[in-house]
A and B are shown apart, each in its own frame.
Chain A
Amino acid sequence: QQQVKQSPQSLIVQKGGISIINCAYENTAFDYFPWYQQFPGKGPALLIAIRPDVSEKKEGRFTISFNKSAKQFSLHIMDSQPGDSATYFCAATLGRGATNKLIFGTGTLLAVQP
């Protein structure tokens, strides 16, 4: 049972363009939504995260947009660079005192062409 659905599976963007990756969740008890970035041969690393009480969070060229009513959130990478080429995973977890167990999406392979 996939509780976090991610799309697209792969994405090709030209250098300088905007990369957009979308995720949808089912469990309204989720209260923390991180994005992880994974380079080939490496483990995932936390990129940016958001809580459902805000609609947007920006860190440099990376922005999370969150739509609580639609149960959707997305990652926008502005001015995409070849160094951003990686696999991106959205995730969700229960908070409020529950043990932090990450539920991951299926991943998006991003290729930024020079």
Chain B
Amino acid sequence: NAGVTQTPKFQVLKTGQSMTLQCAQDMNHEYMSWYRQDPGMGLRLIHYSVGAGITDQGEVPNGYNVSRSTTEDFPLRLLSAAPSQTSVYFCASSYDRLSYEQYFGPGTRLTVT
């Protein structure tokens, strides 16, 4: 049981480039979410999904897109990277939208120059 996995671990982008951060879980969890972690600001919710085909915005969704075609995968897309998106990104999952415990992946450290 790998839990929540994220790839890549590190990424450097130039302003304006696009990329996709991958997230997968093998626990058959319905609920998945993306957070960004910035110094002094804790973790902030970007987007979340309560099941395949259903996504919604969190606290800081601008500049990011998501889709959920399968239960296992929840990729996060940056369409045109900006320096303000330099951050550590965490994917998390829980059994369903009402479950309180969320399981976090190891994170992706993204730098936009």
Contact = CB atoms under 8 A, between A and B. Distances in A.
Interface of B: 4, 31, 33, 35, 40-45, 48, 50, 56, 58, 90, 92, 94, 97-107
Nearest to B106: A43
Chain B, interface SS category: strand
B104 A100 contact: no
B43 A100 contact: no
B101 A46 contact: yes
A72 B43 CA distance: 20
Nearest to B96: A100
Q: A-B pairs with the 10 shortest C-beta distances?
A: A43-B104, A104-B42, A99-B97, A104-B43, A106-B42, A44-B104, A46-B101, A32-B100, A43-B90, A43-B105
A23 to B, nearest CB: 11
Nearest to B48: A101
Contacts of A100: 31, 94, 97-100, 102
Interface string A18-45: 0000000000000010101000011111
